[in-house]
């Protein structure tokens, strides 16, 4: 009863920001992301008769406390679905540098869901797997698919119609993402806490939700047409709208640092100089920059030259879940 799965993280072009059900992790809006080749998690899950609790090893370090609890709560869902009471040994290796500001929870929960469901003998379709993954971490449900994926918020109260679908495979379009890592750190408001405060108190939240369907229609058309300018403009504007909602929250907050704004301005200057590049930012200060492969050298050099930037990591569009036969982790 053992399986190993690999999942890549993703970056949203249309953000998931706001829940309508905190426990089931049901969103107030559809979101759309690119799965990234460069950042992934590999996880082995082995269900065993002789275990008295779940164990979790991350990058060869035993994990206890809150992170362990999240894994156990998630495995409880898998056990319930399978009707089996066995505990599991979970081993994960993260190739998602936490400093790069990617939610490693996206690749982490996608890999955990895939490995655990296979190990326990569930034979889930991709939609079913995405729906299960969603309950570990919302954005993770998009990482089941490679290329471009849309998380459909669904309408049912039990969340049965809330999962991701593929919009286009990775072969559809070779666009690139640069993760710009900033050297200074800030106290983090988790995405969970940030969303909740925004939903409960920001008067801008209503406008955010209302604006999503038009953004989604336009960006899907842009992806289908491989129209980089269109996709970039919508992604950048959607990110700015999401971050604007946090300024209206009570108490107000922002994920940006001064260098975050400098990187945003530098990307706009790149465009002024004729290089198409657009930014997006998640629930943290680091910036992700979308660009086309032929401008890679110039984009990288420019971003690396910004004072306060400690690293720039480049990625192509990645694939969805894969199962590994050689179970070296377990
Ligand atoms: O799934 P979470 O709780 O990591 O939330 C992710 C929220 C954003 O990264 C800000 C947006 C998104 O759609 O990924």
Residue 220 host element (H or E): helix 205-225
Ligand 1 binding pocket mutation candidate from 191, 246, 280 (most atoms within 8 A of CB): 191
By three-state DSSP, how is residue 168 classified? Answer: strand
Cα 16 to ligand 1 centre (Å) = 6
Assess if residue 330 is contained within a domain: no
> Which ligand 1 atom is the nearest neighbour of the CA of 190?
3
Cα 238 to ligand 1 centre (Å) = 13
Specify the pLDDT at position 319: 98
Residue-number span of the structural domain to which 118 is assigned:
2-173
Q: Which of 119, 139, 173 is the last residue of a domain?
A: 173
- Please count the structural domains in the chain: 2
> Which ligand 1 atom is the nearest neighbour of the CA of 151?
13
Distance from C-alpha of 12 to C-alpha of 149, rounded to nearest angstrom: 9
Specify the pLDDT at position 118: 98
Q: Are both 103 and 169 inside the same structural domain?
A: yes
Q: Are both 182 and 144 inside the same structural domain?
A: no
Distances (CA, A) of 201 to 96, 117, 179, 194: 33, 38, 31, 11
Assess if residue 323 is contained within a domain: no
- CA 205 from chain centre, in angstroms, equals 21
Specify the pLDDT at position 172: 98
**Residue 98 maps to which CATH number?**
3.30.230.10
Q: Are both 160 and 196 inside the same structural domain?
A: no
Ligand 1 site residues, Cβ closer than 6 angstroms: 12, 15-16, 31, 103, 105, 137-139, 191-192, 282-283
Ligand 1 binding pocket mutation candidate from 7, 9, 14, 17 (most atoms within 8 A of CB): 17
Q: Are both 220 and 287 inside the same structural domain?
A: yes
pLDDT less than 50: residues of the chain: 330
Q: Are both 166 and 200 inside the same structural domain?
A: no
pLDDT tens sequence across 63-88: 999 999 999 999 999 999 999 999 99
The two structure tokens encoding residue 205: 């939240």
User: What is the number of other CB atoms lying within 10 angstroms of the CB of residue 5?
Assistant: 24
Residue 265 sits at φ, ψ, to 5 deg, of: -70, -35
Distance from C-alpha of 300 to C-alpha of 291, rounded to nearest angstrom: 10
Q: Are both 249 and 151 inside the same structural domain?
A: no
Specify the pLDDT at position 251: 97
Q: Which of 125, 157, 173 is the last residue of a domain?
A: 173
Assess if residue 67 is contained within a domain: yes
Q: Are both 255 and 282 inside the same structural domain?
A: yes
Specify the pLDDT at position 133: 98
**Residue 209 maps to which CATH number?**
3.30.70.890
By three-state DSSP, how is residue 69 classified? Answer: helix
Specify the pLDDT at position 149: 98
Assess if residue 216 is contained within a domain: yes
Assess if residue 229 is contained within a domain: yes
Specify the pLDDT at position 325: 85
> Which ligand 1 atom is the nearest neighbour of the CA of 14?
13
Specify the pLDDT at position 249: 98
By three-state DSSP, how is residue 72 classified? Answer: helix
Residue 80 sits at φ, ψ, to 5 deg, of: -65, -45
Specify the pLDDT at position 258: 96
Half-sphere exposure of 270 (CA within 13 A, CB side): 26
Cα 53 to ligand 1 centre (Å) = 29
Prediction pTM value: 0.96
> Which ligand 1 atom is the nearest neighbour of the CA of 103?
4
Q: Which of 173, 197, 228 is the last residue of a domain?
A: 173
């Amino acid at each position: 009863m053992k399986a190993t799965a690999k999942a890549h993280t993703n970056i949203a072009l249309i953000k998931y920001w706001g829940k309508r059900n905190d426990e089931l992790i049901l969103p107030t809006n559809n979101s759309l992301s690119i799965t990234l080749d460069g950042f992934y998690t590999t996880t082995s899950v082995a269900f065993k008769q002789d275990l008295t609790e779940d164990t979790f090893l991350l990058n060869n370090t035993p994990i206890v406390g809150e992170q362990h609890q999240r894994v156990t709560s998630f495995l409880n869902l898998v056990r319930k679905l399978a009707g089996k009471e066995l505990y599991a040994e979970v081993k994960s290796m993260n190739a998602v540098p936490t400093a790069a500001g990617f939610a490693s929870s996206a690749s982490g929960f996608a890999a955990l869901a895939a490995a655990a469901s296979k190990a326990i003998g569930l034979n889930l379709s991709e939609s079913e797997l995405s729906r299960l993954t969603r309950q570990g971490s919302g954005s993770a449900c998009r990482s089941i698919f490679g290329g471009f994926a849309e998380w459909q918020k669904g309408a049912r109260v039990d969340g049965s119609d809330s999962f991701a679908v593929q919009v286009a495979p990775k072969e559809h379009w070779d666009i690139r993402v640069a993760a710009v890592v900033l050297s200074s750190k800030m106290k983090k408001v988790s995405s969970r806490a940030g969303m909740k405060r925004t939903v409960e108190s920001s008067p801008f939240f209503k406008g955010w939700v209302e604006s999503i369907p038009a953004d989604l229609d336009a960006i899907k058309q842009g992806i289908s047409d491989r129209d980089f300018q269109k996709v970039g403009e919508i992604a950048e504007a959607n990110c700015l709208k999401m971050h604007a909602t946090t300024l209206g929250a009570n108490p107000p907050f922002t994920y940006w640092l001064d260098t975050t704004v400098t990187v945003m301005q530098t990307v706009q200057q790149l465009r002024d100089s004729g290089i198409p590049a657009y930014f997006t930012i998640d629930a943290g200060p680091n910036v992700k920059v979308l660009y086309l492969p032929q401008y890679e050298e110039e984009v990288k050099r420019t971003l690396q030259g910004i004072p306060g930037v400690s690293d720039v990591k480049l990625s192509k569009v990645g694939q969805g879940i894969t199962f590994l036969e050689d179970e070296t982790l377990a």
